A and B are shown apart, each in its own frame.
Chain A
Amino acid sequence: MKTEKETIKERLDEELQGVSFQGQRVVLARTHPRTWTDRLRAVWNAELEIPLVPAGGAAVLLLVCVMTFWSGGEKQSASPTRRGELVEAGGNVYWKEDWEKAVRRSDRSDQG
């Protein structure tokens, strides 16, 4: 007696007699890359396994280095000079800011 499986298999073989698999070359190119293009494609689609912690740490370190290097390159120039008011003291004319600074300085040395 033929099993159901065998019946189906006979039918299938009959139907698929005209059809044949042609992609052997493609598959072989994928599994055993020989030409440059094939090798490139293989590499391109390869899967990497990256251990997260070391990789992440390395990335952060790199970022930090880049940032410090970058901001260290920016110059810090002189502090603002906003003047505007004049004051007359002891026969001389000074900017009010300079005068007050000088007075504070000598007051401090007085108390010293």
Chain B
Amino acid sequence: MIVRIKVKHLVLSLLVLAGLGALFVYVAVPQWQLRTVRQWLADDDRRGAEAALRMLTERGVTTGQKLSLIRDHLMEKSVSREGALDYELYVGPNHTQVRGEPLPDLYTLEEKIFLLSEYISKAPRDAFYARAVRQLAECYREAGEPGRAVELLVGAWAELEHTRQSWQWKETAVALIRLLAHSGQRAEAMTQLETFVSHSDFQAQWNEELASLRVELLLRSGDVHSGEALVSEQLEAEQRTGTGETESNRRRQLEEALRQLEAERERVMSSRSTVSGTVERHDGTPLSGVWVFLRDASIVNRSVTERDRYRVRTGPDGGFSFEHVPPGSYQLFLGMKLEQMSGYAWAITSNEWIDVDGSSDVKYPVVLQPLLEQVAPVEDEAVSGDTLRFEWQPVAGAAYYRLSIGMEIENGWGSTTYYDRVRDHWLELDKERLFDFQTGLVFETPGDWTTIEPAGLLGFMNPDRRYFWHVEAYDAEDRMLARSNGYRLDERSMGKLPFFRLTGRTLTDEDRLVLSGRFEEALAGYELKLAERPDDVHALRMAVRLREAKRLGDDKTPMEDELLRHIQTLAGLRPSAENISRMMYAHYSRGDWKEYEAQYARLIEMSDGGLSPYDSANYAGVLLKQGRYAEAKEILAAAVPEDRSHRFIGHYVAAALYVNQDASEALRVARAYPQRSYGPPLLDWAALVERIQAEANASDDATRYYAALNEKLDWHFGGDSEALYAWFRSAEYPAMKSFVQAVMGVK
């Protein structure tokens, strides 16, 4: 078939087609792409962010559309990071907190800066403009360029002034002042504040935020005197004006400001101490913009809130500094983004305290260490043989490692440290050894042993269970260097999953009874097996565990004979530290002191690294119960300093008072080893001893006083609670009473 067409018609048709094609390519397609990009962004799809940047250079998209894209999908959804509590992760030595929903940013910092700059250069100067300016300033600050942020805000402030957008203008000014204040340029911040106040109208002057910013600047300027003078002047001026509501509000604000300034003046005069340091990664990379909180001992157990007044943001070099810190004990907390912590850990133990004495400075560097890599067993490895080998990445400078093993329980994951002071970066052990270990027990109803979660009873003997482990590295001064536990939120830091299974053994019928919660039946089953074969280690272990679990609700009564017999057999077959401890406890509960001592001696022999201070102190507690104060004091003299929480200082002090019949040694050690408690009540043993000393000196005969104290201590340790409580009801010796009551709380 042939088509006849004139050249002119062909050419014109081709031109029209080309025209339509161009229209399609340069307008229709970009518009359609725009639609897709909007959809991606609405779904938090990363492709949208990348495409958005390309959209900006497309000609088929109008400026208005580009601006609205930035507005709706960047500015509206941007998470503000201006406030101290706007971050996701708050971490301290004993306490980690994740706030809100941690949504990762869809855009990188560079992308945000680019998009926001575009918006600012083209958009009308309205509320959105002001918001974009503030967000861009925040981006610059985060990128470590506060100078550019200041420039931007100053420029925007000028622009907005001409359009008389008073609310926008004020917000921009406040952002500028806040930025200057928090990046250490306080004088500049003060100047801008005064400029702003003099330019603006009456209403804006007394904005809450500005008022508190001004007080903060005055407080931190160090020149508290002129600050106070300034505020007093203003207060006087105010008092001469009317009595309307706004006026009385202002007066209240001024009075509050004055109060704070006075308190500040006292604080400044009371202490010359500065606490400063840097927050950086192990390779020296500083972390800037991180919030650092200095928190008093009384609040460390609580979450970080607005009321945490000692807070500062690290500068571009990662540095922070708190001045005029009142004397006391503090802990440092950090506020940062999850991604800043991912793959790293702040390797410190929970007993990290900063002691400020009011005259000397404290340097406190914070170093984030990369998470320890775990080599084996990992990724759900099924260990079927008789031995188990743990291996991990060695850490330079580590004197020893601490290994913990655990499992999943009802509401989470529990683990216990089973191996301390491991010299090598690997550990081989027999599975049977693991089976000896007691794992934690979870009671659904406290006191009711039938509601214990069965997993804890079977411990590591369950081939169907998934177990996990983690490890920490310590130096020769017992300071943590690194650990394997932490936030693993990106591909690089995911690492190998530290899980494994212990296969190779099958569950017995009694084991299954335990797993289904039928503990009495299981116990009967195990003991039946034991009657036939007294050396059935598994049945023995389980019988002991079940009986012990039963006793947990009621440990005041002496141990029953069956359990004691089981324990003796078990300790004979498998003389491990746990079983020896069991023997010790058994004898203790029955008051068999000689046997207790014998087992203790065995335990010391077995642990070639020495007993933990906790175990030693517990032993000292038993000695105190027997009235052997001098021996207890010896042991506590070694154990209390070694235990960083000094939780047994109470016993030490009591023993010292008893043996010496005098307060000097007691006072000395109470001052040297203050008890570290998390939150109230804060026990100040030194103060308690001082009061005892005062009371003794005030009485007619100090010797009789101390003798009376000893009598009360004997009542407490000897268990004569009746006499003790009768005495509490009497009116004499209040200081002695406070002391004895405090001693009763030691555990």
Contacts and interface: CB of A to CB of B under 8 A. Distances in A.
Contacts of A77: 46-47, 50
Interface string B522-555: 0000000000000000000000000000000000
B499 A55 contact: no
A83 interface: yes
B498 interface: yes
A90 B413 contact: yes
Contact of B488 (A53, A93, A109): A93
Interface stretch (B100-108, B581-589, B615-623, B681-689): B100-108
Given A46-B7, A53-B1, A90 B498 contact: yes
Interface string A38-49: 000001111111
Contacts of B66: none
Given A44-B7, A49-B4, A109-B380, A91 B468 contact: yes
A102 B494 contact: yes
Nearest to B496: A102
Contacts of A106: 379-380, 497, 499
Contact of B498 (A49, A92, A95): A92
Interface string A69-97: 00000000110111110101111111100
A51 interface: yes
B716 interface: no
Given A52-B1, A80-B45, A86-B102, A43 B7 contact: yes
Nearest to A75: B50
A41 B338 CA distance: 75
A110 interface: yes
Nearest to B414: A91
B1 A93 contact: no
A82 B43 contact: yes
Given A45-B6, A50-B3, A51-B1, A91 B488 contact: no
Nearest to B25: A70
Most central of A44, A80, A92 by chain B CB within 10 Å: A92
Contacts of B497: 90, 102, 106
B710 interface: no
Most central of A44, A55, A90 by chain B CB within 10 Å: A90
Contacts of A55: 3
Contact of A86 (B43, B98, B484, B499): B98
Contacts of A43: 7
Interface residues of A, number: 34
Given A53-B1, A88-B413, A90-B497, A82 B485 contact: no
B16 interface: no
A88 to B, nearest CB: 7
A41 to B, nearest CB: 10
Contact of A90 (B2, B3, B499): B499
B488 A92 contact: yes
B492 interface: no
A44 B470 CA distance: 86
Contact of B10 (A48, A51, A92, A102): A48
B43 A80 contact: yes
Nearest to B48: A80
A67 to B, nearest CB: 12
B440 to A, nearest CB: 14
Nearest to B49: A77
Contact of B2 (A50, A81, A102, A107): A50
A83 B104 CA distance: 7
A20 B494 CA distance: 101
B415 interface: yes
Nearest to A78: B46
B5 to A, nearest CB: 6
Contact of B4 (A48, A82, A109): A48
A92 B490 CA distance: 13
B487 interface: yes
Interface in B1-58: 1-8, 10, 40, 43-47, 50
B406 interface: yes
Interface string B388-409: 0000000000000000101010
Contacts of B487: 92-93
Contacts of B10: 48
Given A47-B5, A51-B1, A55-B3, A95 B489 contact: yes
A90 B408 CA distance: 8
Contact of A91 (B1, B45, B413): B413
A44 B3 CA distance: 17
Nearest to A106: B380
Contacts of A81: 46, 104
A110 B413 contact: no
A80 B3 CA distance: 51
A66 to B, nearest CB: 9
Contacts of B47: 77-78, 80
Contacts of A45: 6-8
A48 B43 contact: no
B486 interface: yes
Contacts of A86: 98, 102, 338
B609 interface: no
A26 B104 CA distance: 79
Contacts of A94: 488-489, 494
Contacts of B44: 80, 82
B412 interface: yes
Contacts of A44: 7-8
Contact of B6 (A48, A83, A107, A109): A48
Contacts of B50: 77
Given A50-B3, A78-B47, 7 more contacts: A44-B8, A45-B7, A52-B2, A81-B46, A90-B468, A91-B498, A92-B488
8 contacts: A47-B5, A49-B3, A52-B3, A90-B470, A94-B488, A95-B489, A98-B494, A110-B382
Interface of A: 43-53, 55, 77-78, 80-84, 86, 88-95, 98, 102, 106-107, 109-110
Q: Which 10 A-B pairs have the closest CB atoms?
A: A90-B468, A80-B45, A106-B380, A91-B485, A91-B470, A52-B1, A93-B487, A50-B3, A44-B8, A92-B488
